[in-house]
């Protein structure tokens, strides 16, 4: 993630909160912060999305999410995910994203 994505926090993603889809925090699905952090779970983590990763994600919006926005990702890379998108995310939590 350090090269092709420019660190996920400053490359072509524009910082994940100001680049992708007009900034995941104010453009994706009518407001990432408004839905994802407020009550989008009825679709994102339920039947409609089937856990986003086919059941393995049960917890992404539940208890395992604990520190996504305050605690250096807490359980985002809980191991069961093996790298968000397979091996593609292998550098997301190995130090290169320090302080995400």
Summarize pLDDT for 2-46 with one digit per residue, the tens: 444 444 444 444 444 433 443 344 333 444 444 444 444 444 444
- Specify the pLDDT at position 60: 45
pLDDT above 70: percentage of residues in the chain: 0
- The tokens 């408004």 sit on which residue? 34
Task: Please give the angle made by the CA atoms of 57, 58 and 59, to the nearest 5 degrees.
Answer: 95
- The answer on 61 and 79 residing in a single domain is yes
- Specify the pLDDT at position 21: 40
- Specify the pLDDT at position 63: 42
Number of domains in the chain: 2
> Per the structure block, which two tokens stand in for 58?
């049960």
Task: Tell me if 44 is assigned to some domain.
Answer: yes
Concatenating the DSSP letter of every residue in 16-81 gives TTSSGGGTTTSSTTS-HHHHTTTTTHHHHSSTTTTTTTTTTTTTSSSGGGTTTTSSTTTTTT-SSS
- Specify the pLDDT at position 79: 45
- The answer on 49 and 17 residing in a single domain is no
Task: Look up the domain containing 4 and give its range.
Answer: 1-29
Gyration radius of the chain over CA positions? 13
Task: Tell me if 7 is assigned to some domain.
Answer: yes
Q: What separation in angstroms does the CA of 23 have from each of 46, 48, 59?
A: 24, 23, 23
- The answer on 44 and 16 residing in a single domain is no
pTM beyond 0.75: the answer is: no
- The answer on 47 and 19 residing in a single domain is no
The chain-wide mean pLDDT, for the chain, equals: 43
- The answer on 55 and 24 residing in a single domain is no
Task: Tell me if 69 is assigned to some domain.
Answer: yes
- The answer on 50 and 20 residing in a single domain is no
């Amino acid at each position: 993630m350090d090269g092709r994505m420019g660190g996920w926090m400053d490359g072509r993603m524009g910082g994940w909160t100001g680049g992708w889809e007009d900034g995941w925090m104010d453009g994706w699905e009518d407001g990432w912060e408004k839905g994802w952090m407020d009550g989008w779970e009825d679709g994102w983590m339920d039947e409609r999305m089937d856990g986003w990763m086919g059941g393995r994600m049960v917890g992404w919006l539940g208890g395992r999410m604990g520190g996504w926005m305050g605690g250096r990702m807490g359980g985002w890379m809980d191991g069961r995910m093996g790298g968000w998108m397979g091996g593609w995310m292998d550098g997301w939590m190995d130090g290169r994203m320090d302080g995400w």
